[in-house]
Amino acid sequence: DIVMTQSPDSLAVSLGERATINCKSSQSVLYSSDNKNYLAWYQQKPGQPPKLLVYWASTRESGVPDRFSGSGSGTDFTLTISSLQPEDVAVYYCQQYYSSPDTFGQGTKLEIK
Amino acid sequence: QVQLQQSGPGLVKPSQTLSLTCAISGDSVSSNSATWNWVRQSPSRGLEWLGRTYYKSKWYNDYAVSVKSRININPDTSKNQFSLQLNSVTPEDTAVYYCARRIAVARTAYGLDVWGQGTTVTVSS
């Protein structure tokens, strides 16, 4: 199985400031047939299911604010929130779906400083 | 708008079978461009993908090795839903269980874009 490792485990950022979460996969998730990285980012708030934010490493899901952006390729990926808002307090997960089974990172808890 | 509605018991006795259903509205379980997944979440195991069912000219299933000997995911085309059965449960199967959709067109797949509301399942006598 591909192991997904996120850093940091928790993060406190001031309102309006940038938040950066990293994700590393144990092997490349770049699918050669379509040149897409099969890496997604999710946001989860208490009592709710995860919400898809980004897929293919950098494509924002419809309706997701443009302060959320994903980047990276191969094995190293980043989720950036450009200007933290109060409603962004949540746990964030990366997930690879390049090979079965899908695997998730351990999560990064984002709080307001 | 696609929605997934989960149903099933919240308490299961050890050694018995956990059974959950996910009813689909706004899409079809027989769609050639979607896979239908089960994911669970617990403090000890985090988010864990359990398996999926999908139709590409015929039905396919794909399961996580950790549960492969105990799991069945079945589509029900008459009710437009799919189900999870997990046999011989132990307290380690206590978790929140989610169903989720992934769009997969040709050889390209997307993220898990629609999720059920989650069902908290406790395994206890």
HEC string of chain A? Answer: CCCEEEECCEEEECCCCCEEEEEEECCCCEECCCCEECEEEEEECCCCCCEEEEECCCEECCCCCCCEEEEEECCEEEEEECCCCHHHCEEEEEEECCCCCCEECCCEEEEEC
Distance from CA of A6 to the nearest CA of B (A): 13
Of B37, B46, B108, the CB nearest to A34: B108
B109 pLDDT higher than 90: no
pLDDT at B41 (0 to 100): 98
Mean pLDDT of chain A: 97
pLDDT at residue B105 tops 90: no
Q: Determine the distance in angstroms separating the CA of B115 from the nearest CA of chain A, rounded to an integer.
A: 7
pLDDT at residue number B108 = 85
Residues in A closer than 8 angstroms to B100, CB to CB, are: 49
Contact A55, B105 (CB under 8 A): no
Of A36, A54, A95, the CB nearest to B108: A36
Substitution target from B110, B117, B119 for chain A, most A beta carbons within 10 A: B110
**pLDDT value of residue B6:** 98
**pLDDT at residue A28 greater than cutoff 90:** yes
CB contact under 8 A, B98 and A42: no
Of B64, B108, B111, the CB nearest to A40: B111
Q: CA geometry: angle at B103 spanning B24 and B26, to 5°?
A: 30
Give me the phi and psi of B96, to 5 degrees please. Answer: -90, 125
**Best residue in B36, B49, B50, B114 for a mutation probing chain A (most A CBs within 10 Å):** B49
Backbone φ and ψ for B18, nearest 5 degrees, come out as -85, 130
pLDDT tens digits for A32-77? 888 999 999 999 999 999 999 999 999 999 999 999 999 999 999 9
Nearest CB neighbour to B98, from listed A36, A49, A61:
A49
What rounded mean pLDDT belongs to chain B?
96
In this structure, what token pair is assigned to residue A51? 């919400």
Contact B40, B25 (CB under 8 A): no
Overall average pLDDT of the B44-52 stretch: 97
Question: Average pLDDT in the B39-53 region?
Answer: 97
Mean pLDDT of A18-44: 96
Rounded distance, CA B24 to CA B35, Å? 12
B107: pLDDT strictly greater than 90: no
Checking DSSP bridges between strand B119-123 and strand B11-12, what pairing results, if any?
A: parallel
pLDDT digits (tens, 9 = 90+) for B81-97: 999 999 999 999 999 99
- Cβ within 8 Å, pair A107-B100: no
Strand order in B81-86's β-sheet?
B3-7, B18-25, B81-86, B71-76
pLDDT of the residue at B97: 98
Residue B28 has pLDDT above 90, yes or no: yes
Dihedral, CA of residue B105, residue A43, residue B42 and residue B36, to nearest 10: -20
% of chain A residues with pLDDT over 70 = 100
